[in-house]
Amino acid sequence: MCEEHAIGCHCGRSSASLMFRDEIFPEEIVSAVYCPACSGEREFDGDTMIADNGWLIEYDMEAARFFQDRVPEIAAEMSPGALFDGGYATWRGVYPGDHIDSVRERQELLDLARTDKPRYFKEFRQWGLKRMERLRLDGWRKAQTD
């Protein structure tokens, strides 16, 4: 089970919804979130942060290591990247507001479902592929393919 936590950025202009996979780590392992407006105020530290398209998440790595026995698969490489990419403390969706934007975009497609179901299914598939490609090109970390 995952629980969402909205965390305000350092400057207070934005917030990000984060998910904590299986609630293995508490919300407190995230020390701070910096939006594009305030991320420039903070020097990037790869030992405690991930950078994602202008956003920074700063982790309390000491707290994360306290709970590392809960996840033996990443305990040896406990890092901000392992926490983020493993889904242990990451955006809800592909980027901070993704869960809001994707619902709005899907709602627009639902109107088509009432009038032309075959076209709706075709458009929905294309929407998902085009959306992920757009997010990949925009530089969002979770949209990148290996």
Query: How high is the pLDDT of residue 2?
Result: 59
Query: At 33, phi and psi to the nearest 5?
Result: -125, 135
Residues 117 and 64 in one domain: no
Query: How high is the pLDDT of residue 39?
Result: 96
Percent of the chain past pLDDT 90, that is, above it, reads 70
For the chain, the average pLDDT equals 92
The more confident residue out of 53 and 104 is 53
Does the pLDDT of residue 135 top 80, yes or no? yes
Residues 87 and 102 in one domain: no
Count of structural domains, the chain: 2
If we measure between CA atoms, which residue out of 71, 86, 84 comes closest to residue 16? 84
Query: At 50, phi and psi to the nearest 5?
Result: -120, 150
pTM: 0.88
Residues 23 and 60 in one domain: yes
The whole domain housing 36 covers: 3-91
Which residues have C-beta within 8 Å of that of residue 59, sequence separation ≥ 6?
Answer: 29, 30, 31, 48, 49, 50, 80, 83, 89
Residues 48 and 103 in one domain: no
Residues 64 and 125 in one domain: no
Residues 102 and 129 in one domain: yes
Express each pLDDT in 4-44 by its tens digit: 789 999 999 999 999 999 899 999 999 999 999 999 999 99
Compute the distance between CA of residue 34 and CA of residue 55 in angstroms, rounded to an integer.
6
Residues 8 and 62 in one domain: yes
Does the pLDDT of residue 110 top 90, yes or no? no
Residues 62 and 83 in one domain: yes
Q: Where are the beta strands (DSSP E) in 27-134?
A: 30-34, 49-52, 55-59, 90-91
Residues 125 and 83 in one domain: no
Mean pLDDT, residues 113-122: 89
